[in-house]
Amino acid sequence: MVNNDLEEIQKVRIAEDHNYLESRKHLGDTVSLIQDLVELYDLIPEIVKGAKIEINNKNILIINFILACRYYLTIGALTCLRGHLTDSLYFIRSAVEIAGFAQRIEKQPQLAQVWLDSIDNDESYEVYKKKFRVRKLFPKGHKLLNELYQRYKFCAQTTHPSFYQFARRMVIAHNENKMSIGMNYCELKNDDLSEPIRTLLSIADIHFRIIQIFEDIFNKEINADRIRWDLNKNSVEAKLEYHKEKWKQFCQGPSQWK
């Protein structure tokens, strides 16, 4: 039980610690998927470094994008396990968007400088916004990016201050002639076993797709160490599919990831 004399921020921290430990206990080995994906992200720069690629703005920027997606994977999963399901979608959205940035810069290397110059002044930032509009990040002819765009759209809806964002947090209770309004910090419920597993598996599935975007970008370099890459990637894919099947019965019903 949380001491009501504590500061609000301390109450939330204690609740988060409890949620995290209980989530890990409930989900068991499924949580290890996140570390598997972290290591798969790490393998790309390692292989690319061994291939001795050209040092230029495009390649440096895309390597940084890989590290950013690795960060969003870790923080998003941690946020989810702490019970902040809606907040975790912000990190999915950011990672998907970065994957779109990476693919666009790979196809048009001159845009790396536009991205880097965006902080120079207001005019440069406006040029950057025009060059990196959302629909330009997800071209219709790119199957994998369009799949990611569907996830991006839902995350964008939920992380903007619309009803989507408030739906799982807002609490309205009627008692006789009174009405109370509240906001939950934690979105986990004892009678709903579909969470946090549904959101965690969505995070894992989406990041596995994002990793394939970076694999495509550095395909030439990865081909030099293809056996090692395929061994690691196929292992993670098989494990992901196993855990999706394992938890399928708990995640039935309407899904936001269709």
Domain range for 184 is 8-250
Q: Report the alpha-carbon distance of residue 166 to residue 12 in Å, rounded.
A: 18
Tell me the mean pLDDT in the region 124-153.
Answer: 93
Cα dist. 30→34, 196, 201, 209 in Å? Answer: 8, 11, 8, 18
54 domain residue, yes or no: yes
Cα-Cα end-to-end distance for the chain: 38
Does pLDDT of 8 surpass 50?
A: yes
- pLDDT digit string, tens, across residues 68-111: 999 999 999 999 999 999 999 999 999 999 999 999 999 999 99
Q: Is the pLDDT of residue 156 over 90?
A: no
What is the per-residue pLDDT for 3? 63
**What per-residue string of b and e applies to 152-164 under the rule 16 or more CB within 10 Å gives b?**
bebbbebbeeeeb
Residue 66 located in a structural domain: yes
Do the domain assignments include residue 140? yes
Q: What percent of the chain has pLDDT over 90?
A: 73
Q: How much is the pLDDT for 184?
A: 81
pLDDT digit string, tens, across residues 193-213: 889 999 999 999 999 999 999
Whether residue 2 lies inside any domain: the answer is: no
Task: List phi, psi (to 5°) of 240.
Answer: -60, -45
Please indicate, yes or no, whether the overall pTM of this predicted structure exceeds 0.85. yes
Is 90 a domain residue? Answer: yes
Which pLDDT does position 252 carry in this prediction? 62
Instruction: Assess if residue 91 is contained within a domain.
Output: yes
Angstrom distance (rounded) from CA 218 to CA 192: 41
Give a yes or no: residue 3 inside a domain. Answer: no
Distance separating alpha carbons of residues 145 and 102, to the nearest angstrom: 11
- Could you tell me if residue 258 is inside a domain? no
The SS3 of residue 253 is coil
Return the residue matching tokens 């950057």: 128
Domain count for the chain: 1
Query: Beta-strand (E) ranges in the chain?
Result: 170-175, 178-183
Distance CA 93, CA 81 (A): 18
- Kindly tell me if the per-residue pLDDT of 176 is higher than 90: no
Q: Where are the beta strands (DSSP E) in 13-132?
A: none
